[in-house]
Amino acid sequence: MLFNSLAFLVFLPTVFLLYWFLLKENKGRNVLLLLASYLFYGWWDWRFLSLIIFSSLVDYLVGKRMAGEDNEQRRKRLLFISIFVNLGLLGFFKYFNFFIDSFINSFDFLGMNLNISTLYIILPVGISFYTFQTMSYTIDLYKQEIKPCNDPLAFFTFVAFFPQLVAGPIERASHLLPQFYKKRNFDYTQAVSGLRLILWGMFKKIVIADRLAEYVNIIYSDPAAHTGLPVILGTIFFAFQIYCDFSGYSDIAIGTARLFGFDLMTNFRTPYFSKTIKEFWSRWHISLSTWFRDYVYIPLGGNRASTSRWITNLMITFVVSGFWHGANWTFVIWGAIHGIVNGIEALNSKFQLLKFRLPTILQVMLTFTIVCFAWIFFRANSFGDAILIIQNAVDFSNGLSNVKIISAFDLAILLLLVGFLISTELISQSDNTVEKLLKNQTVRYISYITLILLIVFFGVFQNKQDFIYFQF
Amino acid sequence: MRKFAKKTIVFFILVLVIAKGIDVIITHYFLQSGYYKPLWLNKIKNQNLDYVLLGNSRVYSTIDVGEIEKSTDLKGLNLGLDGSNFASQLLMLKIFHKNNNHTQKVLLQVDPTVYTAEDNDRFAAYNFLPLLEKKYVFEHYKALGNEYYLYKYIPLLKYGKFNFKWSIENLVKLKLNRWNPPYDQYGSYLHDDKYQGDSLQHFENTNIPEPNLYLQKIINYCKVNDIELILFTAPYIDYDIENEAVIDGFNNTIRGYNLPYYTYHNLLRKDYDLFYDNNHININGVRIFNKKIESILLKENTHL
């Protein structure tokens, strides 16, 4: 079920009313949340529910066994089972064809023709997210950072919790799981802030992201046909499209969870105002970057190693992160670009290679430019397309004659929307002006109604786009 | 919880009231403007005509009603609506009649594409949305799908869902008088481009069902209102054997309705200079095809 669908508009109030009005006990509420989560997921394809249930069952049982086990070797074996099952599912459904294709291409390159058929495999929505979430439970348990869960209902609901099931935030068991144990009382302020986040998230997704997508798709679906400014603009628009798409989803997820008395972690903190790539990753998809930090980067040795090993650890983490996003070399290159720049920044911070500091605004612009450059590989359909886009972006032989690929009105709307987003984030970042303004009920109501009307008149409802991160 | 429920309900009602107000204003404004063809037609009242042309784009852009009037003195209107099916075409005829307009003849363009189209018009229905307030328009649509209940009763939903057509940009253009209707005073729009491609006409559905519910409704409507109904098929550029067989089968089906039927599917075959694309003639083709339509109207023998 999509957040931006009519079905969800009916689903959410129904579950909300049943949850708070009909059920008073925690157990009953957890049962409802579990059933609602399975319905939410099954709405897309009920067959893949078995994967979530299987993954939950394996990790629950592994957790139970690990709890009563003192033998380190056996504990390790249990952890291995959990990782093997989860990564095995992910590997099969997400990467099987990629590896087969890469294998064939490698032999093709050497002049050997292999005839291996690939399988038609549907990528189950959200598999990258829930496998990482449930895996974090067994890893933390192994590290004895959390206590084992003895309530299967709570555990299964933790894995399948519908607000964040398909695209995060990827929650840690230590943060989310205990919330299923304790009694939840309705909190007016929390619920209102939840609704506010849902509205803002919907606006970002339906209006900004999906409108920008129309321009971006024109450029990226036929990169050979466009040069100069439209290509640069298309890439900048993609930066804002993916931000509004994904942070919009996170806002809706966090807001929805708040309606049910849950607190999910912040996933984005105005990432495009970052002064370095390192800072960018502390503000972009925070739940994933901290996951990779805690379960890949630090176990590899992190920065507590020789300089070369440290840089290698950074590279490995970012390349793996890129690969997590998609079974395509373009994502690997995207990750590698971030890894390289992170490595350069790390070396600079350690050895003070640059003797001067750029003004903040230039640092922000430079970081944004690097992020946009990397987005080209993320968005392009192939490596060849990405190279073509880079070449065409600096080709100004056609002047400004080809700027107008959509109507002037539509282009003006897109620029206004991006400007509106930047101003809002700038204001909300600098002080609490927005919060102060929203304390006034009239201002608050006018703001909400304006957002609703903007969604109605400028939202994309025909040919609406899926959330980008659903494909991961 | 009570406070939350109360405030949410109050806010919800407030939003509905404001949305309804805006909906009424926008609807009024669009209705006044004649934006899109059904709204243009809705503004035409008390006309006594010799004929009206009914159909999809193969009527809208293939017959020059103004020229016919000049050469025959017959008064007519082109009610052809881009992308429409028989259901929408019947509604066009109803709008024409409800405004106290009269015609002696209806010339309806029929072809395999329109004949096999779904009853619930996915392509042209949005044109009529501001008219949903009218009882007969809503009656027409509610038989086609439940979504029309939502469009009628939830304010702004119809303009939101189809905001790419009923957009703020269009409103602004209307307000600034910077909108040119894509049809002349008779409802025709002629293409002056020449055909660039080389594709043949291809029919998606090769199975011609019988009978067609809404064609039958148009026939009944004309009978009840004492209007002479004449069917015709506009020219195609070319087609292969398989698609020619579809046309032949279709012609036989149409003849089964026992109405005057003139088929011009072969009239300009392979005359690429006379086409805009594979199923629409351009202005040069219109000059020739107009003569055939004039002949039908003057009851000459035109059967090819």
- The topology (CATH level 3) of B2-297 is Rossmann fold (3.40.50)
Rg for chain A, CA atoms, rounded: 23
Quick one: pLDDT band at residue A354, thresholds 50, 70, 90? confident
Tell me: pLDDT of A465 over 70: no
Closest CB from B1, B7, B19 relative to A186: B1
Spatial CB neighbours of A189, under 8 Å, sequence gap ≥ 6: none
- Rounded to an integer, what distance in angstroms lies between the CA atom of residue B253 and that of residue A26? 66
Mutation for testing the B interface, residue in A12, A448, A456 having most B CBs under 10 Å:
A456
Quick one: pLDDT band at residue A449, thresholds 50, 70, 90? very high
Quick one: pLDDT band at residue B279, thresholds 50, 70, 90? confident
- Rounded to an integer, what distance in angstroms lies between the CA atom of residue A246 and that of residue A268? 9
Beta bridge partners of B102: B48
Average pLDDT over residues A240-261: 96
Cβ–Cβ of B168/A461 closer than 8 Å?
no
Spatial CB neighbours of B145, under 8 Å, sequence gap ≥ 6: B120
Picking from A129-138, A168-177, A347-356, which range would have the lowest pLDDT averaged per residue? A347-356
Set of chain A residues whose Cβ sits within 8 Å of the Cβ of B4 = 186, 188, 191-192
pLDDT greater at residue A406 or residue A40:
A40
- Rounded to an integer, what distance in angstroms lies between the CA atom of residue A460 and that of residue B167? 11
Which residue stretches of B133-212 are H helix?
A: 135-142, 147-153, 157-161, 168-175
Mutation for testing the A interface, residue in B17, B151, B163, B176 having most A CBs under 10 Å:
B163
Is A338 among the catalytic positions?
Answer: no
Tokens for B68?
A: 């016919």
Cβ–Cβ of A407/B169 closer than 8 Å?
yes
Spatial CB neighbours of A211, under 8 Å, sequence gap ≥ 6: A410, A413, A414, A417, A458, A460
Average pLDDT over residues A184-213: 94
Tell me: pLDDT of A367 over 80: yes
When the pLDDT of each residue in chain B is averaged and rounded to a whole number, the result is 89
- Rounded to an integer, what distance in angstroms lies between the CA atom of residue A388 and that of residue B303? 57
Residues above pLDDT 70, as percent of chain B: 97
The domain ranges of chain A are 6-183, 190-458
Quick one: pLDDT band at residue A90, thresholds 50, 70, 90? confident
Spatial CB neighbours of B28, under 8 Å, sequence gap ≥ 6: none
With residues binned 3-state (H G I as helix, E B as strand, rest as coil), the percentages for chain A, rounded to 5, are 75, 0, 25
Tokens for B22?
A: 């805006």
Cβ–Cβ of B4/A457 closer than 8 Å?
no
pLDDT for B241 equals 80
- The 10s digit of each residue's pLDDT in B136-171 is 999 999 888 888 999 999 999 999 989 888 888 888
**What does residue B78 show for φ and ψ, rounded to 5 degrees?**
-100, 105
Cβ–Cβ of B160/A457 closer than 8 Å?
yes
- The 10s digit of each residue's pLDDT in B94-120 is 999 999 999 999 999 999 888 888 888
Closest CB from B3, B15, B161 relative to A461: B161
The domain ranges of chain B are 2-297
Query: Which residue is closest to B155 within chain A, CA to CA?
Result: A456
Cβ–Cβ of B160/A188 closer than 8 Å?
no
pLDDT for A4 equals 77
Instruction: Kindly write down the DSSP assignment for every residue of B28-79, as one continuous string.
Output: HHHHHHT-SHHHHHHT--S-EEEEEEESSHHHHTT--HHHHHHHH---EEE-
CB contacts < 8 A (A, B): 45
Set of chain A residues whose Cβ sits within 8 Å of the Cβ of B168 = 457-458
Set of chain B residues whose Cβ sits within 8 Å of the Cβ of A195 = 8
CA A472 from chain center: how many Å? 9
Average pLDDT over residues A259-273: 95
Query: What is the value of ipTM here, to two decimals?
Result: 0.80
- The 10s digit of each residue's pLDDT in B204-244 is 776 777 788 899 999 999 999 999 999 999 999 888 888 88
Tell me: pLDDT of A399 over 70: no
Cβ atoms of residues A472 and A8 within 8 Å? no
Cβ–Cβ of B4/A461 closer than 8 Å?
no
Query: Which residue is closest to B169 within chain A, CA to CA?
Result: A409
Cβ–Cβ of A452/B15 closer than 8 Å?
yes
CA distance B106 to chain A (A): 35
Instruction: Kindly write down the DSSP assignment for every residue of A45-113, as one continuous string.
Output: HGGGHHHHHHHHHHHHHHHHHHHT---HHHHHHHHHHHHHHHHHHHIIIIIHHHHHHHHHHHHHHTT--
